[in-house]
Homo-oligomer: A and B are copies of this chain.
Amino acid sequence: MIFGPPNDFREKSNSYRAVGELRRLIFAGELSPGSDHLETELAERLGMSRTPVREAALMLEAQGLVEVRPRRGIRILPVSPEDMQEIYDILTELEALAAARAASAPAGERDLSLLERSIEDMDAALKSEDRQAWADADERFHSELVRLGGNRRVEAITAMMADQVRRARAMTLYMRPAPVKSHEDHRGVLEAIRSGDAEAARRIHHSHRTEAGAMLIALLRQHRFHQL
């Protein structure tokens, strides 16, 4: 599930459909963090038998999203500010690595258009004060950066964490100051990549993520989001 290109059968297979469906339910808040759910219950809800649900639960457990506790149900793992700190720490390192690698790649083989596009979109969103649009573009920037880094495992790991980050960010989106500094950072990273300066790309992105993470965690704590 984490690794490898999605084979087409995964779309047809109930097991993988269950993985996607459960992820969706979790992040839509329909399966709330900390709640327990019996295999039978979820199976009925998804309109399939226990087998594929069970398989999906095990895969989601391997991804750290749920915990399978025999006879007590499948628990949707809550994410505390401490968890979010862990996640941000990892994203900071791996994305900074990706930025450095993206800058090291031969200029000819790089297509920075998506990166540029996402920055433009953030720019527009900033001007029209559309925070959701900004957040969407920001997410595109980060995932495209990781893609340019060219490390499939980094892509897999960061993608796995993306959903949880998105949820935390959604909660604090309107509490934080306007992301003007972020915007400068993004431009700085792009420029460093374009000019092939790997260490600058790494450094700028690293401090960008570090600051953004610190702010997010502080907001979560301030607003007493002890679990989400």
B3 touches A152 (CB 8 A): no
Would you call the interface of chain A mostly helix, strand, loop, or mixed? helix
A58 is contacted by which of B58, B89, B96, B97 (Cβ under 8 Å)? B58
Number of interface residues of A (CB under 8 A): 34
B86 touches A151 (CB 8 A): yes
Chain B residue with the shortest CB-CB distance to A161: B153
Determine how many copies of this chain the complex contains. 2
A67 touches B4 (CB 8 A): yes
A153 touches B15 (CB 8 A): no
Chain B residue with the shortest CB-CB distance to A54: B55
Chain A 55-84 interface 0/1 with B at a Cβ cutoff of 8 Å (1 = within): 100110111100101100000000000000
| Contact A70:B9 (CB < 8 A) given known A15-B58, A55-B55 | yes
| Contact A63:B62 (CB < 8 A) given known A93-B97, A94-B90 | yes
A interface residues, Cβ below 8 angstroms from B: 1-4, 7, 9, 13, 15, 54-55, 58-59, 61-64, 67, 69-70, 86-87, 89-90, 93-94, 96-97, 101, 151-154, 156-157
Top 6 closest A-B pairs, CB basis? A62-B62, A3-B64, A93-B93, A1-B62, A86-B151, A86-B153
